[in-house]
C-alpha cells in the first residue's frame, strides 16, 4: 500500500504582509521558504511543532476578496494551554466561534479563513 504524507494546504491572501504578521502573532508560524514570480508570490509558513506547512499565495493583481462560501471548511491547530491561547486570540479580536462543550474555538484570519484551535491530546 502506498503511504501519503500531509505536506501543506493553501490559502489565497489579498495582503501577504498582513497575513504573515497575523500567522506569526496568532499561531507562531514563520516563513519557511518562498517562491517569487512576476505575477504571484507563494510563502510557506510553519513551525518546529510539525513539518506541515500553510501555503499563502498572493496573486499580485487580485483586488477583490476571495469568496469562501459558507466557511464549511477549516484548518485545525492544537495547543497545550487552551486558556492562554483563547485569551490571546480574544485580545487580538479574531475569535469567531467558541464551543465550550467540546472545548474548542475558532479564529479567523485577515482573509476570512477559519482556523480551529483544539487542545493537545
Give the C-alpha separation, 63 to 13, whole Å. Answer: 10
Q: Which residues is 115 bridged to in the sheet? A: 75, 107
The tally of domains found in the chain comes to 1
Residue 78 lies in a domain: yes
Span 67-95, average pLDDT: 94
- Higher-confidence residue of 70 and 31: namely 31
Residue 68 has pLDDT above 80, yes or no: yes
Give the C-alpha separation, 54 to 20, whole Å. Answer: 11
Q: Percentage of the chain with pLDDT > 70? A: 100
Q: Among residues 53, 72, 116, 120, which one is catalytic? A: 116
**Residue 21 half-sphere exposure toward CB, CA atoms < 13 A:** 7
Q: What is the pLDDT of residues 37-62, one digit of tens each?
A: 999 999 999 999 999 999 999 999 99
The domain containing residue 43 runs over which residues? 8-62+74-119
The kind and range of the H/E element at 32 are strand 30-36
All 3 cell numbers of residue 56?
Answer: 499563502
Q: Which residues is 11 bridged to in the sheet? A: 56
The CATH number that applies at residue 106 is: 3.10.180.10
**pLDDT band at 27, cuts 50/70/90?**
very high
Can you give the pTM of this predicted structure?
0.92
Residue 1 lies in a domain: no
- Classify the phi-psi angles of 71: left when phi > 0, otherwise alpha if psi is within -120 to 50, otherwise beta: left
Q: Is 116 a catalytic residue?
A: yes
Amino acid at each position: 500500500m502506498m503511504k501519503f504524507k500531509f505536506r501543506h494546504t493553501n490559502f489565497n491572501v489579498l495582503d501577504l504582509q498582513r497575513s504573515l504578521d497575523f500567522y506569526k502573532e496568532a499561531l507562531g508560524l514563520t516563513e519557511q521558504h518562498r517562491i517569487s514570480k512576476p505575477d504571484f508570490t507563494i510563502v510557506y509558513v510553519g513551525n518546529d511543532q510539525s513539518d506541515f506547512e500553510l501555503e499563502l499565495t498572493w496573486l499580485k493583481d487580485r483586488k477583490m476578496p476571495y469568496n469562501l462560501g459558507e466557511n464549511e471548511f477549516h484548518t485545525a491547530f492544537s495547543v497545550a494551554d487552551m486558556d492562554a491561547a483563547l485569551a490571546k486570540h480574544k485580545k487580538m479580536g479574531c475569535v469567531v466561534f467558541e464551543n465550550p462543550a467540546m472545548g474548542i474555538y475558532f479564529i479567523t484570519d485577515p482573509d476570512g479563513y477559519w482556523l480551529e484551535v483544539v487542545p493537545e491530546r
